[in-house]
């Protein structure tokens, strides 16, 4: 009799556990695929000038499965976007924090018959410039520019920006051979567009000191050390 009672109790316990997990699975399944939990609204910074048409691709998908990988087309449409930070508010709202690649410098290429000013981003993407008074400027008068030229320019600006100075007052001229920089009362003979990260440490230090109202010549060298001549 006791054995039968124990068997019934075990069977009831097993049935209860099975029923609980079956019900839980059903609830989860209904939640995952319920139309109530599909994306219908986005919250993002609308004053950033970007192409948001690809958001329509994500709309209507289950909010449970949405992540950054669903926005591949958005990255293709907006090459200046570095990343998206996705968060959700149930049942249907997705918050998107848009991180833009850093703007590095405004470029005016005078070699073009119809020259236009463009902004160079940290990821080498360029787009037409409007009004950007907070950026340094590069003017190209002759060329062609060597391979890796723009990467070197980015390295130079990022290095110089680490120093305490007004980076927007820096103007650079490239004549097809060498770079010349102008910052307030200082002229910088930077030389060939190579090792600009190392040269940037010299440029940044001299400009931060602010005691050279004259000319600085940076010597190209094959060694790790960058030498300079000051005529202040």
Residue-range domain boundaries for the chain: 35-100, 103-231
Q: How far is CA 3 from the centre of its chain?
A: 70
* Six token digits for residue 195: 């090792």
pLDDT tens sequence across 2-53 = 554 454 455 545 645 555 455 445 445 545 555 677 888 899 888 788 999 9
Write the CB contacts of 60 (distance below 8 Å, at least 6 apart in sequence). Answer: 38, 39, 40
Condensed to tens digits (0 to 9), the pLDDT of residues 19-33 reads 545 544 544 554 555
The top-scoring range by mean pLDDT among 62-71, 176-185, 201-210, 213-222 is 176-185
Strand 93-100 versus strand 41-43 pairing type:
parallel
Report the alpha-carbon distance of residue 183 to residue 12 in Å, rounded: 85
Give the tens place of pLDDT for each residue, 96-154: 999 999 999 999 999 988 888 999 999 999 999 876 778 999 999 998 999 999 999 99
Q: Which of 160-164, 184-188, 224-228 shows the lowest mean pLDDT across its residues?
A: 224-228
Does an H or E element contain 20, and which? helix 2-33
pLDDT the model gives residue 129: 83
CA angle 37-41-44, nearest 5°? 130
Domain 35-100 has CATH 1.10.1660: no
For 130-158, b/e burial (b = at least 16 CB within 10 A) is eeeeebbbbbbeeeebeeebbebbbbbbe
Residue 4 has a pLDDT of 46
Is the pTM value of this prediction over 0.85?
A: no
Q: What is the pLDDT of residue 27?
A: 47
Reported confidence tier of residue 80, pLDDT bands at 50, 70, 90: very high
Quick one: pLDDT at residue 32? Answer: 53
What's the chain's average pLDDT? 85
What burial class does residue 207 get, using C-beta atoms within 10 Å of its C-beta: 0-12 exposed, 13-18 middle, 19+ buried? buried
Q: Would you mind telling me the total number of residues written for the chain in this entry?
A: 232
Q: How far is CA 178 from the centre of its chain?
A: 29
Query: What's the confidence (pLDDT) of residue 11?
Result: 54
């Amino acid at each position: 009799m006791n054995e039968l009672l124990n068997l019934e109790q075990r069977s009831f316990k097993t049935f209860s556990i099975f029923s609980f997990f079956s019900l839980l699975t059903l609830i989860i399944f209904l939640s995952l695929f319920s139309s109530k939990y599909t994306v219908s609204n986005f919250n993002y910074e609308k004053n950033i000038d970007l192409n948001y048409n690809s958001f329509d691709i994500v709309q209507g998908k289950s909010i449970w499965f949405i992540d950054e990988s669903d926005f591949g087309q958005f990255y293709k449409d907006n090459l200046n976007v570095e990343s998206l930070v996705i968060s959700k508010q149930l049942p249907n709202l997705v918050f998107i924090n848009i991180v833009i690649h850093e703007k590095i410098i405004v470029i005016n290429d005078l070699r073009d018959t119809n020259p236009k000013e463009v902004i160079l981003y940290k990821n080498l993407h360029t787009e037409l410039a409007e009004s950007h008074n907070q950026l340094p400027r590069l003017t190209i008068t002759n060329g062609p520019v060597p391979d890796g030229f723009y990467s070197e320019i980015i390295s130079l600006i990022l290095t110089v920006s680490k120093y305490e100075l007004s980076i927007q007052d820096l103007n650079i001229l490239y004549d097809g051979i060498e770079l010349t920089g102008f910052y307030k009362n200082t002229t910088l003979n930077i030389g060939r567009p190579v090792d600009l990260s190392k040269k940037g440490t010299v440029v940044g230090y001299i400009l931060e000191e602010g005691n050279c109202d004259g000319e600085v010549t940076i010597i190209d060298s094959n060694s790790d050390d960058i030498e300079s001549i000051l005529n202040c």
